[in-house]
Amino acid sequence: MAVPAAALTSKPVLFDLPYTPMKKKPLPAGRPRQWYISHNRRLKAMRLAIALLDSGVYLPSQAPDHRIRTTAARVGIHPPSDTTCHMVRALLRYSR
């Protein structure tokens, strides 16, 4: 008879632990300014896409600019530009 893998562990696995962000590391020096701008924009778009997915928005058609901006305000992120909103919709499109 096979024993479930959960029965073999001594401690229960908890999935509902509070979220703690990773420690931030400084960005590498010596890159052009445009690299830092696009890098930070990608990170912001990714955080917004995750927040939208958590709130039940799964399709790009469900995420107009005003919804992305209200989600950013709710999460505590500065209002995104039109370019960042476009990137958020692209992430939602390609996450499927």
| pLDDT, tens digit, 9 for 90 and up, residues 42-55 | 999 999 999 999 89
Does the pTM surpass 0.75? The reply is no
DSSP label at residue 60:
G
pLDDT score of 83 = 96
Angle at 88 between CA 63 and CA 16, to 5 degrees: 90
pLDDT score of 9 = 54
Measured CA distances, 74 to 70, 86, 96 (Å)? 6, 19, 25
Burial class (CB in 10 A: 0-12, 13-18, 19+), 47: middle
pLDDT score of 23 = 83
Q: How far apart are the first and last CA of the chain?
A: 39
Instruction: Decide: 68 and 88 in contact? Cβ < 8 Å.
Output: yes
pLDDT in tens, 40-96: 999 999 999 999 998 999 999 999 999 999 999 999 999 999 999 999 999 999 866
